[in-house]
Amino acid sequence: MELSPRTAPTTAPQPAADGPLRFLDRDHSILAFQERVLDWAHRRDVPLLERLRYLCIVSSNLDEFFEVRAAPHLTAVQNGDHKGLYTIETFEALSQAAHKLVDKQYALFNEELTPAFVKAGIEIVSHGDRNAAQRAWVAEYFEREVRPLLIPVGLDPAHPFPQVANKSLNFIVRLGGKDAFGRENEIAIVKVPRVLPRVIRMPAKVSGKKALFVSLSSVIRAHLDSLFSGREVGQFSQFRVTRHSDLAVDEDDVRNLRTALRLGLQHRHYGQATRLEVSSGCSDYLASFLLQQFNLPPAALYRVHGPVNLVRLQQLIDLVDAPQLLFPPYKPSWPVELVRGQSFFEQLQRREVLMHHPYESYDAVLEFLREAVQDANVLAIKQTIYRTGADSTLMDLLREGVRRGKEVTVVVELQARFDEEANINWSEMLESIGAQVVYGVLGLKTHAKMLLVTRREGRELRRYAHLGTGNYNARTARLYTDLSFLTADPLLTADLENVFLQLASQSKLPRLNLALVAPFQLHRKLIEKIDVLGEAASRGIETRVVLKMNALTDEALMLALLRAGRHGARIDLIVRGACMLPARVPGVSDNIRVRSIVGRFLEHSRVFYLRCGSTEELYLSSADWMNRNMLRRIELAWPVNEPRLRQRIIDECLVACLHDDRDAWDLMADGSYKRVKGAGDPKGHGAQAALMARYAARDNTEGA
Give the annotated binding-site residues: 61, 387, 417, 480, 576, 604
Q: State yes or no: is 447 an active-site residue.
A: yes
Identity at 195, one-letter amino acid code: V
Residue 163's φ and ψ, nearest 5 degrees, are -65, 125
Q: Are 218 and 127 in contact (CB under 8 A)?
A: yes
- Residue 320 burial (CB < 10 Å; 0-12/13-18/19+)? buried
Backbone dihedral angles phi then psi of residue 582, each to the nearest 5 degrees: -75, 130
Residue 355 φ then ψ, to 5°: -130, 135
Nearest by Cα to 498 from 557, 452, 550? 452
Reference 478, options 564, 372, 359; nearest CA is 359
How far, in Å, CA of 651 to CA of 425, rounded?
41
Q: At what angle do helices 522-538 and 555-566 cross, to 10 degrees?
A: 10
Question: What's the sign of the alpha-carbon dihedral 359, 360, 361, 362?
Answer: negative
Distance CA 202, CA 219 (A): 12
Q: Where are the alpha helices (DSSP H) in 69-186?
A: 71-79, 88-108, 114-119, 132-141
Set 447, 466, 523, 567: catalytic member: 447
Are 213 and 199 in contact by the 8 Å Cβ rule? The answer is yes
CA distance 95 to 104: 14
Query: Which residues are CB-neighbours of 567 under 8 A, at least 6 positions away?
Result: 13, 534, 535, 537, 538
- Tell me: cis bond preceding 72? Omega within 30 of 0 counts: no
DSSP reduced 3-state for 439: coil
The SS3 call for residue 448 is coil
Q: For strand 407-412 and strand 378-385, is the pairing parallel, antiparallel, or unpaired?
A: parallel
* Length in residues, the chain: 704
E strands present in 458-501: 460-468, 480-487
DSSP characters over 318-361 = HH---GGGSPPP--PBPPTTS-TTS-HHHHHHH--EEEEETTB-
Neighbour-count burial of 248, counting CB atoms closer than 10 A to its CB (0-12 exposed, 13-18 middle, 19+ buried): exposed
Beta bridge partners of 484: 355, 468
Opening angle at CA 427, ends 497 and 65, nearest 5: 95
- The H or E element spanning position 201 is strand 199-201
Distance between CA 198 and CA 216 in Å, rounded?
Answer: 5
Whole-angstrom distance, CA of residue 312 vs CA of residue 280: 18
Which 3 state secondary structure label does DSSP give 455?
Answer: strand
SS3 (DSSP) at 312: helix
- DSSP class of residue 229 equals T
Number of C-alpha atoms within 13 angstroms, CB side, residue 262?
9
Round to whole Å and give the CA distance between 673 and 657: 16
Amino acid at 277: E
Beta strands 301-304; 273-279: pairing state? parallel
From the list 514, 522, 446, the residue with the least C-alpha distance to 485 is 514
**CA neighbor of 72 nearest in space, from 314, 272, 294, 322:** 272
Cα radius of gyration rounded to whole Å, the chain:
28
Query: Catalytic site residues?
Result: 447
